Structure 1
Amino acid sequence: MNMPLRITANESLADRLTSITVRDAVYDLMRRFGMTSVFANPGSTELPMFRGFPSDFRYVLGLQEAVVVGMADGYAQATRNASFVNLHSAAGVGNAMGNIFTAHKNRTPMVITAGQQARSILPFDPFLASPHATELPKPYVKWSVQPARAQDVPLAIARAYYVSMMPPCGPVLVSVPVDDWDQPAESVAERVVGTRLGADPVVLDQIGAALDASHRPAFVVGAAVDRDGAWDAVVALAEMHNARVWAAPLAGRCSFPEDHRLFAGFLPAAREKIVGLLQGHDVVFAIGAPAFTYHVEGAGPHVPPGAVLCQVIDDPDTAAWTPAGMAAVCSVGLAIKDLLARSAPPARPTPPPRVARPKVEPSGPLSAAYVLQTLAEVRDAADIVVEEAPSARSAMQEHLPITRSEGFFTMDSGGLGYGMPAAVGVALAKPGTRVIALIGDGSSMYSIQALWSAAQLRLPITFVILNNRRYAALQEFAPVFGFGAADVVQGTELPDIDFVGLARSLGCEAVRVATSAALHDTLREALGNSRPTVLEIEIA
């Protein structure tokens, strides 16, 4: 997020000191912060907040709290501003915790308010109270508070916004007792808070010198590149150095055009394989990415022997555990801008291009690769893809290239239940833009209620559910943990789910596709629909 934090207040100092309610002061703040969409699922302890709901605000209802947070996550990432979430006391926050964890890993700015019972009865452990309100979401919020006085709630909301927007961005939580909203308060004064930090010039000069001296540099780009609006700058720096560019393992956003001549592909989340793919490079420059995200145990060096590891990252914790090399903790965009200002390095030969996979031929039953190849043929390059189909991700990376900034969103956490509601949030943030939600059958059942929100909001989302009737990613991963080819992986079969019936019951148009003959035209028709449409595609 790269915008300065500004509140533009028109009222005079005398007006600010006039007694208004906590509710009035909070809505005034939200309006000036640009948080006029409220993602919520209602509960009794939140009702007073919404009495006299402002006409210029929008209440976005989710039918389950995880859906609420997922929608808010997609919306915040696509607008580059903190989203506002309202949850119900301890139970609501508990239901939302999976996607709060994802928002934490996604570095998504988000202000969460949670209801609390009236202050006067909190000593008696009342029904629906949250006795550990500030502890419940930790450690996956940057800050949490239950203000000491009702009058402190607006100041707490203001602080929460600033904290959420300061890199690395993330969710925060404010617990608000139900009787606070009608108490007198004062308007919060305007402030301007800059959040983009420049790099230590000495460290950045060392990184620049290493790049200049390199004979065969490799860039590894992560989600923070696109989050910080540094897409174009990173492309320019890669071209300046003729560097091969790899996507970091399990990155939640695309940060380099995947059809570019310098794009090399995707690093896996395994140490030895990463070292093998980077073999021959003398400088490895991780830009907006951990170095590196692993999913399985490994051994040996983290980079090829003799290679220098450099890193630019906005997260000091990530820089602290990076096992080797040098790291600059700063705004990714500002650092790359400074590196571009250096003199041009010596000319280097262009690295060999990525080897293209051969065209996939239709088969029966359909393969994920053929479905995604066909989707790439019929979609518009400006369409935004929101993905949560782990077993199809490698096929997507081979056959559905992302070529534009803000063109792809997924979860950095690995936790399911994010993709469907995030697609709703992205579509709300980008009116008129086609959103394609690419979802696995198992993933979809974590937050299927998001279809109802999409239908009620009449959003142009095409939900593509790849139905292989199983948790395929787990079955494919099982050999890593000693399973043999004949072993049964318990709890991974998902037969007899009628996604067309589910979608229609929640208000979406829906169709099932099982053959290559129907795939192309059905996809094209769905992508032209102005209403949310669900395609259940049966794959092998």
Structure 2
Amino acid sequence: MPTVRDVTIGLLRDLGMTTVFGNPGSTELPMFRNFPRDFRYIMGLQESVVLGMADGYAQATGRAAVVNLHSSAGTGHALGNLFTAFKNQTPLVVTAGQQARSILPYEPFLFAERASEFPRPFVKWSCEPARAEDVPAALHRAWLVAMEPPCGPTFVSIPIDDWDRDCEPFTPRTVHAARMPDMRAMAACAQALAGARNPAIVVGAGVARDGAWGQVVELAQRHNAAVWVAPMSARCSFPEDHPLFAGFLTAGREAIVATLAPHDFVLALGGPMNLYHVEGHGPHMPPGCDMWLIGDNHVHAAWAPAGTAIIAQCDKALDLLLQAPPPAVRPVPQLRTLPPRLDGSAMTDAYVLQQIAALRSADSVIVEEAPSSRGPMHDRLPIVRKDTFYTTASGGLGHGLPAAVGIAMARPADKVIAVLGDGSAMYAIQGLHAAVQHGAAVSFIILKNNRYEALHHFGRHFGIQELVGTQFPELDFCLLAQGHGVAARRATDATSLNEALRWSFAADGPTLVEAVVL
């Protein structure tokens, strides 16, 4: 009779999960006995790096990735990026080892107490199977739940002695999960949109996840509607060089209301629009503005403070809106004015981002985790192609660097550019090791301002003039890169920056540029 391991490996192969991301401990090793040659194991030097790589890989492929962690300690290390994967709506099947069932009553060394509860609430479903022979079924259910919209991570704890137990063959089932919109609600939305005087569209990450980039462009052009990006959106959902692109909403109540005040109709697609980062007061929408939200996440619909929500995948809903009768003729709105180009006399983050935009290929992939430079990035580094921008939806740090490695593994023909703050990079610097091991074509661009600038910004917001423990001028990212086997260059002025960026963007493997900014 086959073992649990035999049946599980066959299941993972059937599901297309032959790439395993992990940092195993003692309780995971039996899973890898006689590891098949058609599988690939991606080792991360720390569990948060493992989760981040798997997140990027799963987002880039659109398929759930499998992650292998170590009991409580390893799962604990990974929780920050598990939170990010949950907010990113990334499909992951996370497994963790558990001590042998026979010694669990004695609280053994390196066991997990209440293992299935530990990763909650940042997983859609979790379990520790009651019997060894239930492991394949649990993993199959975890995969189905992870892939069902809204996608997200799931978790299975597996005792060490389960892998060698006998197991009956397991046949995976097919579940067709379609999230079609309510037809009457969609008709009402289409009628309200067609009758609006000055409509606006707000796009979130769900537009990208649902592959609806082209449909949003068509809908916006049909209605001459201004298109805004939802606050803190983690994906690119509309070309930022399009005449109808209006800009980015700020994550504050008063700011959102002020920005949308000219509009009498707002259609928010694929994510929360009223996402706040600071406390605010007053209304959530401008008076008299008809607000509609369409997305696959019922949680977003439940807590949205205003408007009418339709639970549906964006591509399916947009198909219906595009089939509606044509609207009245509207004038083309006058929208953004781009800032003047910088001459490089000052080595600022804005100048670095401007030069990245000028020197990169338009279809290269940007992975961003530089929170204090998000504003200059919006002004200077436009995203103009679909599926070429990724960032963290949670705001947690340590995701961007390993996610860039995972995306490069999933898209080996594309150049990936990771734009990282120096503080952010230090959360997951070990990810450079995996980039070298697997030849990932990532250009790591470190914006080095020697401090946590985002905290200084918020310090000023709270009236705090001096912050303790937020500066680190002694970090040397070129030496850190070289210690992991990554070639690196430092840029301190316009000339050295342009030379370093050209060198990095032309490289076939991983490189790092330390851009020292004011």
Residue 294 of structure 2, aligned match among 312, 335, 341: 312
Residue 266 of structure 1, aligned match among 234, 248, 251: 248
Residue number in structure 2 paired with 1:386: 367
Residue number in structure 1 paired with 2:159: 177
Residue number in structure 2 paired with 1:214: 196
Question: 1:105 deviation in Å?
Answer: 0.5
Q: Distance in 2 between matches of 1:174 and 1:518?
A: 49
CA contact (8 A) 1:21 1:185 kept: yes
1:201 and 2:179 equivalent?
Answer: no
Residue number in structure 1 paired with 2:484: 506
Matches within 5 A, 1:423-502: 423-483=404-464, 487-502=465-480
Residue number in structure 1 paired with 2:502: 524
% identical aligned pairs: 52
CA contact (8 A) 2:19 2:39 kept: yes
CA contact (8 A) 2:8 2:136 kept: yes
CA contact (8 A) 1:39 1:71 kept: yes
Residue number in structure 2 paired with 1:369: 350
Q: Residue 175 of structure 1 aligns to which amino acid in structure 2?
A: S
Q: Deviations over 1:423-462 (max 9, x none)?
A: 0000000012100000000000000000011011111110
Q: Runs in 1 of length 4+ with deviation above 3 angstroms?
A: none
Q: Distance in 2 between matches of 1:195 and 1:292?
A: 28
Unaligned stretches of 5+ residues in structure 1: 1-18
Q: Residue 474 of structure 2 aligns to which amino acid in structure 1?
A: D
Question: 1:279 deviation in Å?
Answer: 1.3
Q: Residue 508 of structure 2 aligns to which amino acid in structure 1?
A: S
Q: Distance in 1 between matches of 2:296 and 2:513?
A: 38
CA contact (8 A) 2:274 2:305 kept: no
Q: Distance in 1 between matches of 2:462 and 2:234?
A: 26
Question: 1:405 deviation in Å?
Answer: 1.2
1:399 and 2:377 equivalent?
Answer: no
Q: Deviations over 1:108-138 (max 9, x none)?
A: 0000010000111111111111011001100
CA contact (8 A) 1:456 1:507 kept: no
Q: Distance in 2 between matches of 1:220 and 1:417?
A: 28
1:409 and 2:390 equivalent?
Answer: yes
Q: Deviations over 1:181-222 (max 9, x none)?
A: 011112322322223301111211111111011010000000
Matches within 5 A, 1:47-446: 47-364=29-346, 366-446=347-427
SS in structure 1 of the partner of residue 67 of structure 2: strand
CA contact (8 A) 2:231 2:273 kept: no
Residue number in structure 2 paired with 1:538: 516
CA contact (8 A) 2:490 2:500 kept: no
Q: Residue 132 of structure 1 aligns to which amino acid in structure 2?
A: R
Q: Deviations over 1:306-350 (max 9, x none)?
A: 101101011111101111211101111111111111111111111
Q: Distance in 2 between matches of 1:183 and 1:122?
A: 17
CA contact (8 A) 1:75 1:422 kept: yes
Q: Residue 514 of structure 2 aligns to which amino acid in structure 1?
A: E
Q: Distance in 2 between matches of 1:118 and 1:61?
A: 24
Return the TM-score normalized by structure 2.
0.99
- The range that moved more, 347-356 or 411-420, is 347-356
- When the two structures are aligned, how many residues end up with a matched partner? 518
Q: Residue 109 of structure 1 aligns to which amino acid in structure 2?
A: P
CA contact (8 A) 1:43 1:88 kept: yes
Q: Distance in 2 between matches of 1:186 and 1:213?
A: 61
Question: 1:32 deviation in Å?
Answer: 1.2
Return the TM-score normalized by structure 1.
0.95
Q: Deviations over 1:373-414 (max 9, x none)?
A: 111111001100000000111111111100111100000000
CA contact (8 A) 2:270 2:294 kept: yes
- The range that moved more, 83-92 or 332-341, is 332-341
CA contact (8 A) 1:84 1:111 kept: yes
SS in structure 2 of the partner of residue 510 of structure 1: strand
Question: 1:522 deviation in Å?
Answer: 1.5
Q: Residue 196 of structure 1 aligns to which amino acid in structure 2?
A: A
CA contact (8 A) 1:154 1:187 kept: no
Q: Residue 114 of structure 2 aligns to which amino acid in structure 1?
A: H
Q: Distance in 1 between matches of 2:64 and 2:468?
A: 40
Q: Deviations over 1:15-58 (max 9, x none)?
A: xxxx3111111111111111110000011000000001010000
Q: Distance in 2 between matches of 1:191 and 1:265?
A: 44
Q: Distance in 1 between matches of 2:178 and 2:449?
A: 44
Question: 1:361 deviation in Å?
Answer: 2.0
Residue number in structure 2 paired with 1:12: none
Q: Distance in 2 between matches of 1:70 and 1:43?
A: 19
SS in structure 2 of the partner of residue 523 of structure 1: helix
The root-mean-square deviation of aligned C-alpha atoms, in Å, is 0.9
CA contact (8 A) 1:114 1:174 kept: yes
Question: 1:173 deviation in Å?
Answer: 0.5
- The range that moved more, 466-475 or 519-528, is 519-528
Q: Distance in 2 between matches of 1:354 and 1:34?
A: 44
CA contact (8 A) 2:44 2:431 kept: yes
CA contact (8 A) 1:203 1:326 kept: no
